[in-house]
Structure 1
Amino acid sequence: MMKHLNRDMDHLHRDILSLSAVVEEMIVNAGKSLSEGRVDLAEKVIRDDDAVDHQEVAIEDECLKVLALHHPVATDLRRIATVIKVNNDLERIADLAVSVAQRAIGVKDYPRFVIPDGVGPMVSEVTGMVRAALDAFVNMDTDAAKRVILRDDEVDALNTDLINHLRLTMQKDAQLVAAALHCFSAIRHLERIADLATNIAEDAIYLVDGEIVRHRSVLKRDC
């Protein structure tokens, strides 16, 4: 019985890694589509979303089958619960990447609009958070997970700076309001992706320690 459970858990592990790779590429491409005006990458992100949706459903089905067949307890039960949560977060991240890509396409209709310099660093930071959170989950590294959670403050600061910049742009030139609003929405979507990366990091801590962590002030005292 344990042999079959381990086999199914390994299969789940491979599936979530495969999904992670696709979603991570979607974030990178969505970010480039916004910061570099790459409509081709935006369109690829939108196309890739269907595959993510199918894969997310398949992984959830597998998790439910493992629960029904093996009745796992303790660490194994936590692993499955964590996979279900991470699986859901990855699908939501993919949806947000699609939203960023759609906004990037919208911005291209306004050639006079210049993407703020801070967008590139924000894309890099958000992408790095997602990658680091997934690595922490895969490697069961709670220290790395806590570092990811603390990085969310940097994304929040970048988000605030960019929003202020876009507000000034809209005040100075009414003809750029529509483009700035597209960019505004894309930035908010990126900030939300960072929040979901934080969720994944928290799930990694739960997987290892069985501890539900939702308050960064606690983490700051530990780091």
Structure 2
Amino acid sequence: MADNHTVSAFDQELNALKTKVLRMGGIAEANVAAAIQAIVRRDKALADRTISSDQRIDVFDGEISELVTRLLALRQPMAVDLRFIVGTLKIATDLERIGDYAKNIAKRTTAIGTAVPTQPMHAIPRMGEMVLGMVKDVLDSLSAEDVEKAVAVRDRDAILDELYNSVFRELLTYMMEDPRTITGCTHLLFIAKNLERIGDHATNMAEAVYYIVTGKRMHADRPKADVTAEISDPSQVA
């Protein structure tokens, strides 16, 4: 009976860990969505709420770290349980970073100004929609231990990179053609990069889910299509 009780208590602790990570993920996902809406609407009140909400993510991150430490010290997990505990800690770290990027986006709501070309501004919600889909799907893959959905999230990162490359080139073109747009477009560049990085963290999470479930690393190198770091000459944007 004692052994059964111990196993049952351990299962409950693992479920509690999973619940905390998913709740943390839900807040991070909501913050990304709110940050994008704050930018599009120039809604300072929404931006302020999003910035404040990041504290909730940090609280969950601390609680998850403490729970993981306790489980490792007291339960000495093995095999799939060990993979799950370590994997969820890594996922929590990625979620904390996603929350930080959402906060960074929200902070630019008032700074972005009005001298922003309409066309590239429309690209931000498009990137945001793709990023939100990746975050939602990777959280679903963790909840259901769905390996195929995790792989699909990872493969979509290259598509997001291509969209980011397009936005990057478009914004540079606008800035060269009309210097009055430089300030606004620079903020949009940072926002687009933050969204691209959120996609990278969603991909990290997908790889962690895959490892938790299968005990293996995802096949091949991660497909990456972000080439903006290679552009040293603005004439290359054409």
TM-score, scaled to structure 1: 0.92
- Paired residues, number: 215
Distance in 2 (CA, whole Å) between partners of 1:105 and 1:61 is 37
CA displacement at 1:16 relative to structure 2: 1.1
What amino acid does structure 2 have at the position aligned with 1:111? T
Aligned pairs (5 A) from 1:146-185? 146-185=151-190
Pair member with larger Rg: 2
Distance in 2 (CA, whole Å) between partners of 1:157 and 1:40 is 32
2:67 aligned to which of 62, 67, 75: 62
Structure 1 residue ranges without an equivalent (≥5): 218-223
What amino acid does structure 2 have at the position aligned with 1:52? I
Classify the secondary structure of the residue corresponding to 1:113: coil
> Are 2:36 and 2:128, in contact at CA under 8 Å, matched by a contact in 1?
yes
CA displacement at 1:22 relative to structure 2: 0.7
* Alignment deviations for residues 8-58 of structure 1 (CA, whole Å, 9 cap, x no partner): 111111111211111110010111122332222211111111121111011
Equivalent residue number for residue 117 of structure 2:
114
CA displacement at 1:216 relative to structure 2: 3.4
Distance in 2 (CA, whole Å) between partners of 1:198 and 1:95 is 17
Structure 2 residue ranges without an equivalent (≥5): 1-5, 224-238
More divergent stretch after superposition (198-207 vs 1-10): 1-10
Q: What's the Cα RMSD here?
A: 1.3
CA displacement at 1:105 relative to structure 2: 2.6
Aligned pairs (5 A) from 1:10-25? 10-25=15-30
CA displacement at 1:176 relative to structure 2: 1.7
CA displacement at 1:143 relative to structure 2: 0.6
Equivalent residue number for residue 215 of structure 1:
221
* Alignment deviations for residues 95-143 of structure 1 (CA, whole Å, 9 cap, x no partner): 0111111123311xx2232352221111100000011011111111111
Classify the secondary structure of the residue corresponding to 2:116: coil
Structure 1 residue ranges, 4+ long, deviating more than 6 angstroms after superposition: none
Classify the secondary structure of the residue corresponding to 1:134: helix
Classify the secondary structure of the residue corresponding to 2:109: helix
User: Aligned pair 1:139/2:136, yes or no?
Assistant: no
> Are 2:87 and 2:208, in contact at CA under 8 Å, matched by a contact in 1?
yes
The percent of aligned pairs where both chains have the same amino acid is: 29
